[in-house]
Amino acid sequence: MVDEERRQVFDEFARARMPELLRFGHALTGSPHAAADLVQDALERTMLAWARVENQGDPEGYVRRIMVNRNISIWRRHRRETLVLDVPEDAGRRGAGHAEPVHRDLALWDRIRALPPRQRTVIVLRYYEDMSEAQIAALMGSSVGTVKSQASRALASLRRDAYQFAESDGPTEGVGR
């Protein structure tokens, strides 16, 4: 296949799958801006390896693997990142009449974003992408046992935080109004 033809196939793939990849990136990173960077990075790498990626038959899986692994390695380099201090993009949109649920949701969303990247990735893949443990393990390049333990730790942490927030809902009720 000549390069021009191959490039067209790549462009069609990227154009068709980018909305879904951006959504996936947003869930992984917790930020639309970081998602855009992550998707661009992954698609640039995929484009350079397109002949082999196309040959292997699962280009979207390849892109998602890069996104998952790059997101974890980027996070390692920027360990000081303070995701919990970011203001969620749609904070307050739901406004009056949903104060308590909005607050609880925001708090839980922030806790998810503050999880260590591997745990956050497992949670997003499991509860947002509805992937099985085996699928998550394959995507992350880890064992099912590791996925289980990451999920267990993440859920324990989130449950603990949720309990604390539930107890302290009174004084802070009203956020989002």
Partner 1 sequence: MTQQPPDEFERRLRDVLHSRGLSVPVPPDAIDRIHAGARRRQQRRNGASALGAVAVIAIAAVAIGVRPHGHGSNVAGSLHTATPAPIASSAAPSSPVAVQTSAPTVASSAPSSQVPSPTTPPAAAATTPYPSAGSAVPADFTPISVTAVNDKTYWALGTQQCGNVSCTAIVNTTDGGAHFTEVAAPHAATISINDTTRPVFNLRFADSSNGWAYGDALWTTADGGATWVDTSLPAGSVKDLEAARNPGAVAGTAWAIVQPVPFTSGYQLWEAPYATGSGTGAWQRVDLGADPPGDTAPSLVVKGPTAYLLGADAKKAERVYVASVGVATTMFAAPCIPTAGAFSAGIGSLWTACPSGATVSTDGGATWHATSTPSQITVGVVGGIDATTAVVNQGSNLVVVSTTGKSKTASISSKSANFSFVGFTDAKVGYALSQAPNQLWRTTDGGMSWSAVTF
69 binds partner 1, rule: CB under 8 A: yes
* Contacting residue, 74, 83, 99, 138, with partner 1 by CB under 8 A: 138
Q: What mask of x and - would describe binding to partner 1 in positions 86 to 115, judged by CB under 8 A?
A: --xxx--------------x--xx--x---
Q: How many CA atoms does the CB half-sphere of 71 hold within 13 Å? A: 34
Residue 101 Cβ vs partner 1, minimum distance, rounded to whole Å: 10
Q: How many CA atoms does the CB half-sphere of 150 hold within 13 Å? A: 22
- Give, as ranges, the residues between 144 and 173 that touch partner 1 (CB under 8 A): 144, 146-148, 151-152, 155, 158-159, 162
143 binds partner 1, rule: CB under 8 A: yes
Sign for the CA dihedral angle at 8, 41, 124, 151 comes to positive
Q: Look-up: residue for tokens 């509860």? A: 127
36 binds partner 1, rule: CB under 8 A: yes
Query: Quick one: which segment of 79-87, 122-130, 169-177 binds partner 1 (CB under 8 A)?
Result: 122-130
Residue 47: both structure tokens together: 């484009």
Q: What mask of x and - would describe binding to partner 1 in positions 72 to 91, judged by CB under 8 A?
A: ----------------xxx-
d(CA 122, CA 150): 7
Query: Residue 47 or 80: which CB sits closer to partner 1?
Result: 47
d(CA 138, CA 109): 26
Taking a C-beta distance cutoff of 8 angstroms, is the pair 50, 4 a contact?
no
